[in-house]
Homo-oligomer: A and B are copies of this chain.
C-alpha cells in the first residue's frame, strides 16, 4: 500500500459512498435492460439498448481501472474477481459486436452474454457479502451433493418399484392418460410427487385399486419429501453457518492484523510500553468518522482508557473498530419547539392535561379499540354511505392521534431513525388521506371512480390495522426478531436475483413466444389454446395458464417466483399437462431439446428448493435460535456501564 498523499486521496475517492451507489446504479440499469430488449416489455431499438449497455460497461471498466490504481498490481491480477470482471466485459463486447453484425445483415442470433450480466453483481468489489454467500454455498456443495445422490438413489429405487408394482396395473389418471408405464416417466412423476403436487392424480387410481398402494405413496412422501428435505435443511443450515463463521473468523483475523499494523504506525513509546496517546486517537477517530460528536468520542475514549492514563495500549487500541460500530443513539432531550415559541400556552393546564392523556396507557388502548372497530367497518360493504362516511371519521381520528403525539413529544425524537412504527403510521395515514381525497374528488367531479386509486385506498386502510401488533409485546418481539434478519436478507435477495436472472434469460431464449396471451374479450379462436396449436385440448390451456410464459422478463420472473414458492406451480407446469407443456414449449425443437427443456425446469427446482429455500429457512431459524440465547458482547456491556 502506497502511503503517498496522492494514493491516499485516490483511495478515499474510491471508497466514497457515492461511487459505491453509482456502481450499483449502473449494474441495475444494465440488468434492467432486459425489460427493453427483445423479447421486451417496452420495446426499444437495438442501438438504444446497446448504447446504454456500453455506458454501463464503460462505468464498470472505469471503476475496475480505478481499483487497479488503488491496490498493488500484483494483488490486483491475483484476485479472481477482477479477472472475472475483465473476462465478462470482454465477452459482452464480443457478443455485442457479433449480435450487431448479424442483426445488421438481417440474421437473428442469441444474446448469450445476457446470462453473464448478474455475474457483474457478484464480482464487483462491493459485492463481498454476495461473494461470501456464494462461497458458502460452494463449500457446502460436497455435502449437499452426497445427500442429493442418496436422495436420487432413493428416487430411482422407488421409481423402479412403482414401475414394477403399478406399471402393469394399467392405472389411468382422471384425464385418462396412463402413467408409471416407462421408467423415466416414473422417475419424473415421482419427482413431481415430491412436491405432493400431482398426488391425487397419481395416488387415487392406485389407492382405488388397492388400499395397500396408499402405503407405498405415504412411505415415499415421508421418506423423500419429509426426511430428505429435512436432511437437506440440516446440511445447508449447518454448512452455511459453519462456513460463514469461518469467513467471519478470517475477516476478524485480517482486521486485527490491519489494526495491529496501524498501531505500529501510530505508537509512541512511554517507558517500555508502546501506547497511543489520546490526542492521536482523537485525531484518528476524527479522520475515520468525522460525523461523530465530541461527547460520543470522549465516551468511547473513557471506555478504552479505564484508568484515565491519557494513553492506551495495544489491546485497547484493537477494540476501536468494534467500538465505532456500536450504534449509540444520542437521545437529546430537546425542548419541544412549541415550548420555545409560545411557552405560556404550551405549559398551560389544558396543555399539560393533553400531555398526560397522550402519555397514558389508556390512550393506546383507546386507539387499539378504534383500530378494531375500523377493521369491522373495512369488512363491511363500502357502497353503504354510512361506511364511506365513517372512513372520514377514522381518518380524522388517526390524524388527530399523530398530531397529538407530535404535540406531546419532540418532533425530531418522534421521527428518529429507530422509531419504525411512528414512520409507518405517519406515512400510511398521510397517503391514505391523499388517496381518499383524490378518490372523493374524482367521484364528485364526474361520478367516476378509478379502480387503481380505490385499490390503493383499500390496501392502505388494511395496512393501518397492522399497527395493533405494536401494542402486544410478545408480538413485537417476534416482529423485531424477523426484522433483524433484514440486512442479511439483502444479500440473500441479491443471490436470488442472480439465480433468477440467469434462469430467466435462458428460459426466455428457449421458450419466448411459444405461448401467447390474448385479451379477455378476444374472439380469436387461437385464444382457446394460448395461440399454440400444440396446446389444443390440453389442461394447460383449459385452465387458463397462458399467462405463465417466458414472453418477457417480467412474466419470466413471476413464473420463476411461482415455481419457487408454490409447490402447486410445479404442478401447474407438470401435472398431467407437464408433458403437453414441454412438448409445446419445445414445439419446433428436436427430441434432444425436448429433454433439455425438462432438465431446465427440474434444474431450477432443485437449485431453488434444495438451496435457496433452505437458506431462507436457515436464516429464520438462526435468527430465532440466537434470539433465544442472546447475550450482549462485553463491549456493549462496558459501554452501557459507562453511560450509567
Contact = CB atoms under 8 A, between A and B. Distances in A.
Interface string A365-378: 00000000001001
B478 A164 contact: no
Interface string A121-132: 000000000000
A469 interface: yes
B620 A200 contact: no
Contacts of A281: none
A163 B379 CA distance: 8
Interface residues of A, number: 86
A392 interface: no
Given A218-B565, A221-B566, A226-B565, A624 B234 contact: yes
B149 A475 contact: yes
Interface string A223-234: 001110011011
B544 A208 contact: yes
A305 interface: no
A196 B566 contact: yes
Contact of A221 (B147, B204, B565, B621): B565
Given A226-B565, A562-B214, A469 B378 contact: no
Contacts of A196: 565-569
A479 B151 CA distance: 11
Interface stretch (A153-161, A329-337, A356-364): A153-161
B547 A203 contact: no
A164 B462 contact: yes
Interface in A567-623: 567-569, 571-572, 613, 616-617, 620-621, 623
A428 to B, nearest CB: 13
Interface string A458-472: 110110011011000
Given A174-B542, A231-B620, A146 B475 contact: yes
Contacts of A474: 146
Contacts of A617: 226, 230, 233
Main DSSP-derived SS at the A contact region? helix
Contacts of A227: 482, 620
Contacts of A221: 565-566
A238 B624 contact: yes
Contact of A458 (B164, B225, B237, B547): B164
A616 B227 CA distance: 8
Interface in A1-31: none
A207 interface: yes
Interface in A529-560: 542-547, 554-555, 558
A200 B572 contact: yes
A616 B160 contact: no
A36 interface: no
Contacts of A214: 558, 561-562
Contacts of A150: 469, 475, 478-479
Q: How many copies does the complex hold?
A: 2
B234 A566 contact: no
A409 interface: no
B226 A459 contact: no
Contact of A616 (B157, B164, B226, B238): B226
A468 B479 CA distance: 48
B558 A211 contact: yes
Given A164-B462, A455-B165, A565 B225 contact: yes
Contact of A478 (B165, B226, B231): B231
B226 A613 contact: yes
A85 interface: no
A547 B208 contact: yes
Contact of A621 (B157, B199, B204, B230): B230
A119 interface: no
Contacts of A234: 620-621, 623-625
A174 B544 contact: yes
Given A204-B547, A624-B235, A157 B465 contact: yes
B475 A543 contact: no
A200 B235 CA distance: 32
A562 B217 CA distance: 9
A561 B218 contact: yes
A520 interface: yes
A183 interface: yes
Interface string A614-644: 0011001101110010000000000000000
Contacts of A459: 161, 164-165
Give the 3 A-B CB pairs with smallest separation, nearest first: A234-B624, A230-B620, A164-B458
7 contacts: A150-B475, A157-B465, A160-B462, A197-B568, A200-B543, A218-B566, A230-B621
Interface of A: 146-147, 149-150, 153, 157, 160-161, 163-165, 174, 183, 196-200, 203-205, 207-208, 211, 214, 217-218, 221-222, 225-227, 230-231, 233-235, 237-238, 242, 375, 378-379, 382, 455, 458-459, 461-462, 465-466, 468-469, 474-475, 478-479, 482, 520, 542-547, 554-555, 558, 561-562, 565-569, 571-572, 613, 616-617, 620-621, 623-625, 628
Given A174-B544, A203-B566, 17 more contacts: A153-B469, A164-B458, A164-B461, A165-B458, A196-B567, A199-B569, A199-B572, A200-B572, A203-B562, A208-B544, A218-B566, A222-B565, A226-B565, A230-B620, A234-B621, A235-B624, A238-B628
